Amino acid sequence: MSRREEICVPGDEILRQREFMRLVREQSIGEIKKYNIQTFGCQMNENDSERLAGMLSEMGYVETENRDESDLIIYNTCCVRENAELKVYGHLGSLKKLKEKKPDMIIAVCGCMMQQPEVVEHIKSTYRHVDLIFGTHNLHKFPELVYNVLRGETPVVDVMDSAGFVVEGMPIRRSNGIKAWVTIMYGCNNFCSYCIVPYVRGRERSRSMEVIYDEVLSLAREGYSEITLLGQNVNSYGLDLPDKPSFADLLRKLDGIDGIKRIRFMTSHPKDLSDDLIDAMRDLKSVCPHLHLPLQAGSTKVLREMNRKYTKEQYIELAERIKSRIPGIALTTDIIVGFPGETEEDFLDTLDVVEKVRFDMAYTFLYSKRAGTPAARRTDQVPEETKKQRFDRLIELQNRISREINEALKGTVQEILVEGPSKTNASILSGRTSTNKIVNFRGSDDLTGKYVRVKISDVQTWSLEGVII
């Protein structure tokens, strides 16, 4: 048996699911069935939604942006923070009337929220118009589950509590024609004390280098020039594979694939970012000079309680080492404010790291209690008001730094990959630098997908403005 076969879902299972796709497609011959997928959460979920879209296309469904005219609606959910869950419940509530008008419409919910038994029970009892519930570990069974719903078996509920294998060989329909996501590993072993991801995504499972290489090769042939490799902690890529390739080995294998000009990745846990990876980032031509390195908190005491396994000083030293070895690299981060027991002094440590490291950008979050995680059981939760005040102070500092870093780019020439009309103003184009900064500029639509050189003429906190040269 080749290594690739060992880690895949047995071919029989893929064949079974392909058979269900065929059966569903045959049922809808002569009518156009439409689907709508609403995705919450991280890029991992976006990538899973692309797999669902791939399966739906094979089943004869076409995509619609209009939820109300669809025959099948899927909510691919996230539970990393409470507000992500509340949004999903809001949507499900609002679908009740629509389902009364269109009883044949299929409403499906999947993703991380469904890996929590109490959520599944709540949906079953409160949102009785939901037809299909499945989890993150059995996404590949979607065709069979849809087939069962169409046969009248509702609600269909199928959630596995742990993942058995890495699924390969199912179709995918990508949402973006210019940049592609490639999941290189699933799950997380780190159990940061605030985080629910390891409970809902299972333990780390890496895809083999060969399978990833083949996927990137075929993306290059399809015309993609930028890929983003995804994993909750890409630095532990390969540890579960037979010959233990490292993430740097994977980058070295992917660098130089004809047509792939930019390779990005996320996320890197600071605790095990190796010098080998820093060297690979510096030396490999296609690997972009941008690193997302979540800090989470600046206080060593809070970091210990978060189970992050690095200190304030170690983080700062690592960031300095990366910046000195890869000049011009952009560093971005995630920060949580108001972890249980966080004092004003602890919070000042966070501000101090932000001042010292000078991130290009930070995603900032208010700590959110997640049932089942150790931090949620603590009795020293920080009052909401304190959290919000700290959050505002952090944002003010980070905005100033982001703007200062951007100001220094004024007058420089940057190569950008044009992504299409800007999200905020359709009459201008938008693209990104290799450091992942958004640049808005005037130009004709046919530049979309191409690389152009622009001179930076003005800057904002979150984006740059430029003129084509």
Question: Cβ of residue 354: shortest distance to ligand SF4, in angstroms?
Answer: 18
55 binds, among ligand SF4, ligand F3S, ligand SAH, none (CB under 5 to 8 A by kind): none
Q: Which stretch binds ligand F3S (CB under 6 A): 25-33, 76-84, 399-407, 427-435?
A: 76-84
Output the six-digit token pair for 402. 């982001």
CB of 183 to ligand SAH, least distance (A): 13
Cβ neighbours for 444, distance < 8 A, ≥ 6 positions apart: none
Which residues contribute to the site for ligand SF4 (CB under 6 A)?
A: 188, 190-192, 195, 197-198, 232-233, 269
Determine the size of the site formed for ligand SAH (CB under 6 A). Answer: 18
Residue 104, classed as helix, strand or coil, is coil
What part of residues 41-70 is at the interface with ligand F3S (CB under 6 A)? 41-42, 44-45
CB of 41 or CB of 171, closer to ligand SF4: 41
Closest CA to 353 of 410, 299, 403, 390: 299
Per DSSP, the three-state class of 304 is: helix
For residue 328, give both structure tokens. Answer: 């011009």
Q: Give yes or no for residue 368 binding ligand SAH (CB under 6 A).
A: yes
Q: Which is nearer to ligand SAH, 80 or 401 (CB)?
A: 80
Structure tokens at 144: 């069979």
Residue 365 touches which of ligand F3S, ligand SAH, ligand SF4, none (CB < 5 to 8 A by kind)?
Answer: ligand SAH
Those residues with Cβ within 8 angstroms of residue 332's Cβ, 6 or more apart along the chain or in another chain: 290, 291, 292, 293, 359, 360, 361, 362, 363, 436
C-beta separation of 46 from 37 below 8 A: no
- Could you tell me which residues are beta bridge partners of residue 38? 75
Six-digit token string for 233: 């902690």
Q: Quick check: 334 binds ligand SAH (CB under 6 A)?
A: yes
Query: What does 78 bind: ligand F3S, ligand SAH, ligand SF4, none (CB cut-off 5 to 8 Å by kind)?
Result: ligand F3S
Residue 139 binds to ligand F3S (criterion: CB under 6 A): no
Q: Give the count of alpha carbons within 13 A of 183, CB side only.
A: 22
Q: Determine the residue type at 368.
A: S
Q: Does 78 bind ligand F3S (CB under 6 A)?
A: yes
Closest residue to bound ligand F3S by CB: 41
Cα 354 to chain centroid, rounded: 24
Judged by beta carbon, residue 295 or residue 382, the one nearer ligand SF4 is 295
> Phi-psi category of 411—alpha, beta or left, where left has phi over 0 and alpha has psi -120 to 50?
left
Binding site for ligand F3S (CB under 6 A): 41-42, 44-45, 78-80, 112, 197, 200-201
Binding site for ligand SAH (CB under 6 A): 80-81, 188, 194-195, 197, 232-233, 267, 269, 294, 296, 334, 336, 365, 367-368, 370
